[in-house]
Structure 1
């Protein structure tokens, strides 16, 4: 794995660290390719159930590396988009652990994650309009689905920041932690999720992520196509047996 992304595991949890602290973890092409590779490995490894994405040096991500941009670099991966994630997040759950700033593309990376844990002093913003750019890496698509329309519009058109406590009050952030303790809080949340059946967790994520675009008349039909293989899985039988036997289930992901 490239030095731009650090990886380590704690049991079934993969920890990914954006590792360009000298540039506030701004995304260049090397980081984008490294993150796409890391996420592909995460999805393919049956021993990994959930991942946490964080940034080195007390900052989550300052967005696209503008110095590289002026040299003609576009930090995108075919099929996965900006930073190797925004157009194709992993099938398995991903938690953003945000210290410091998640701005521009950094905010869009966080919005690509399924849950966000943020430090009390964390800040989020889409300041692209202040730089003659557009938040086209998912910010304008995802933010109105997470916040009220007029607030999403205000943030997109002004480029203003929103702090973590307000973001949490609006439901944009799942949990708040003291500065420096965000990763620990995210790992605690990850541990709770990793105890559950992996097939059921992935199916639940997929339904929530995709069902917003399904026609009303086909909601349950499309849901059934995702749920039926889970109901027929060995894990479903194991869950029922473990409940009856009053023991912890032993999930196999099949």
Structure 2
């Protein structure tokens, strides 16, 4: 099997890091395969949600594979462009669930934070070990940590290199749910089903709007016109939602 397993089941794309012998550290080949996966996810209208997971119990991902040297051969950002570290940022337009277990550190932590929902096994540990081992480079991961964790907790991780366990991460709002490792896949699929119970086009428009003005003042966000939301008004799913409400039934979405 390839080091990245990509498959589509129903309306869910499954992207799985498949290099457990290397603690799922991301190689250049894996970056290429991940970019292919995100490109397909964004282009395929039959894909409504994504589950990002990893093989093995020891680690979700420990970041970039540096066994061949720290220098990367291309300017592609880590994670197939998803993180924005070291190259142009690729945005996944569909809602994403990350299923995390074991070590989730460095660039692997960054990759998990790119997801919209994080489900963690009770074995998960999140951390930024860079300063502890005397390495600090392009800092996408620290900027995400500062935005997704309380100020002092984020700086604790950044400055000490210490890790926090899954229950702590749940307490600080970093993850949505903590489950036993044996139930991780089931939990991730349950979250994907929750996402797909909503109108896929409405979800995509809402995600684009929410993230598109995240770094702006509230008054700027409130005055912004969001094209995906305006375009949604003319879709079949918008009409189906109205029909279903009038007929008091669950809507049947088509993603059109």
Task: Compute the TM-score of the two structures, normalised by the length of structure 1.
Answer: 0.92
Q: Which runs of 5+ in 1 are unaligned?
A: none
CA offsets 1:109-150 (integer angstroms, 9 cap, x no match): 001111100001210101011233226352111111111111
CA RMSD of aligned residues (A): 1.8
Describe the SS at the equivalent of 1:95. Answer: strand
Aligned position for 2:69: 69
The partner residue of 1:211 within 213, 229, 234 is: 213
Greater shift in the superposed pair: 201-210 or 127-136:
127-136
Q: Which aligned pairs between 1:1-254 and structure 2 lie closer than 5 A? A: 3-58=2-57, 59-70=59-70, 72-74=71-73, 77=76, 81-84=77-80, 85-87=82-84, 88-134=90-136, 136=138, 138-254=140-256
Q: Which runs of 5+ in 2 are unaligned?
A: 85-89
| Number of residue pairs the alignment of both structures matches | 249
Paired with 1:32 and 1:145, the residues of 2 have a C-alpha distance of 25
Question: Does the 8 Å contact 2:97/2:115 carry over to 1?
Answer: yes
Paired with 1:54 and 1:116, the residues of 2 have a C-alpha distance of 10
Paired with 2:126 and 2:149, the residues of 1 have a C-alpha distance of 13
Paired with 2:115 and 2:47, the residues of 1 have a C-alpha distance of 16
Describe the SS at the equivalent of 1:68. Answer: coil
Task: Compute the TM-score of the two structures, normalised by the length of structure 2.
Answer: 0.91
Paired with 1:182 and 1:134, the residues of 2 have a C-alpha distance of 32
Measured at CA, do residues 205 and 195 of structure 1 come closer, stay the same or move farther in structure 2, by a change above 3 Å?
Answer: same
Question: Does the 8 Å contact 1:28/1:73 carry over to 2?
Answer: no
Shift of 1:75: 7.0
Shift of 1:15: 1.1
Shift of 1:12: 0.7
Paired with 2:125 and 2:149, the residues of 1 have a C-alpha distance of 16
Measured at CA, do residues 217 and 223 of structure 1 come closer, stay the same or move farther in structure 2, by a change above 3 Å?
Answer: same
Q: Which runs of 4+ in 1 moved over 3 A?
A: 72-76, 223-226
